[in-house]
Structure 1
């Protein structure tokens, strides 16, 4: 039986398993996405019940060698309050992306650190002002770490280096290519190169967030449109549940 003790992790999703237990999908630093059964977690007296919350840093312990492991312990790592409003929905959106794009038991320590940094941003007092840039930064890093983002330093098919003033578009099936006259969304080569440099930094989330925030307003809108199309393609089509929820709330407002 394999045992893991006090592993840094976050809860991505949970669902009922029996009358008293739940299955937890967790994102851990050293083991990637893991499925854990938390026995008795629905009981009022369970120690798991107040701890297994999303967007909170946890230390999890589990055992077993089946596809779904048995959760043995869960402790709050402290330091964060639960985001509210738009930052909370943005956190659920990031969780859904991880659920869609990460295979189980596939470790991504650099992506885990980026996600942890995103959670800190969403829980901060500046979350409302930073949430859009933080999400674009996380989307870029998620796509790159899962192998879905081509190099942003050269055209994908020709390997020709980007020209700073030329326009380029990121397309799901063709990678980064020169923009056509009828393309509605693109960034100039200088912008793509700045984003590529930012993602190579030791603290990629904060550096990429800053790079996105420094883009002109139209370039930020174009980046969002291109990343949305790429994520839609690699998530298998269909609107994400959290995205649909955001649109519904905006229509009500």
Structure 2
């Protein structure tokens, strides 16, 4: 086995921190750990351009597996279906809602629907990875806020480590 280095190593540490904070000890999540094994293979293969999509797909799979991800094909509060060309944003306490003019983050309804279809796919890791690839940058701040909310921490330790290393 190849040991990840650099950003891939920090990414692996980040995923481990998420698992430790969000999963109950000895709580089996076979599908999630199958996806985790796939992520570790990508991290070890040093495909730097795949880091963001692979992290976003794992975050989505983790949140869904533990019941913290709302349905991505309807607005959470109203259950109204998403309109393909309208932008929606994922917020920690409100789920998926129409993006306001001040929201910097957001995705078109068609992208959220594609992510939901990928999560529902029998091969959800691969399908979610493909669906995340074109929108990884837009998903990052939304998933970060959701994860921080559920972890009960303003900044994860690995995120702070990355910030500290970048300031050197």
TM range (shorter): over 0.9
Residue 163, structure 1, aligned to residue 83, structure 2: yes
**1:243 counterpart residue number:** 159
Cα distance in 2 for partners of 1:205, 1:243 equals 24
**1:17 counterpart residue number:** none
> Any stretches of 5+ residues in structure 2 without a counterpart?
none
- String of CA shifts for 1:184-206, please: whole Å, max 9, x gaps: 21111011011111112233222
Cα distance in 1 for partners of 2:149, 2:75 equals 20
2:70 pairs with one of 150, 171, 182: 150
- String of CA shifts for 1:43-95, please: whole Å, max 9, x gaps: xxxxxxxxxxxxxxxxxxxxxxxxxxxxxxxxxxxxx3111111011000000
Q: Any conservation in 2 of the 1:134–1:205 contact (CA below 8 Å)?
A: no
Count of equivalent residues: 168
C-alpha deviation, 1:122, in angstroms: 0.6
Residue 99, structure 1, aligned to residue 20, structure 2: yes
Q: Any conservation in 1 of the 2:91–2:145 contact (CA below 8 Å)?
A: yes
TM-score by length of 2: 0.95
Residue 136, structure 1, aligned to residue 56, structure 2: yes
Map 1:37-116; keep pairs closer than 5 Å: 80-116=1-37
Higher strand residue share? 1
C-alpha deviation, 1:125, in angstroms: 3.9
Q: Any conservation in 1 of the 2:87–2:108 contact (CA below 8 Å)?
A: yes
TM-score by length of 1: 0.64
Cα distance in 1 for partners of 2:124, 2:45 equals 18
Cα distance in 1 for partners of 2:131, 2:97 equals 21
Higher helix residue share? 2
> Any stretches of 5+ residues in structure 1 without a counterpart?
1-79
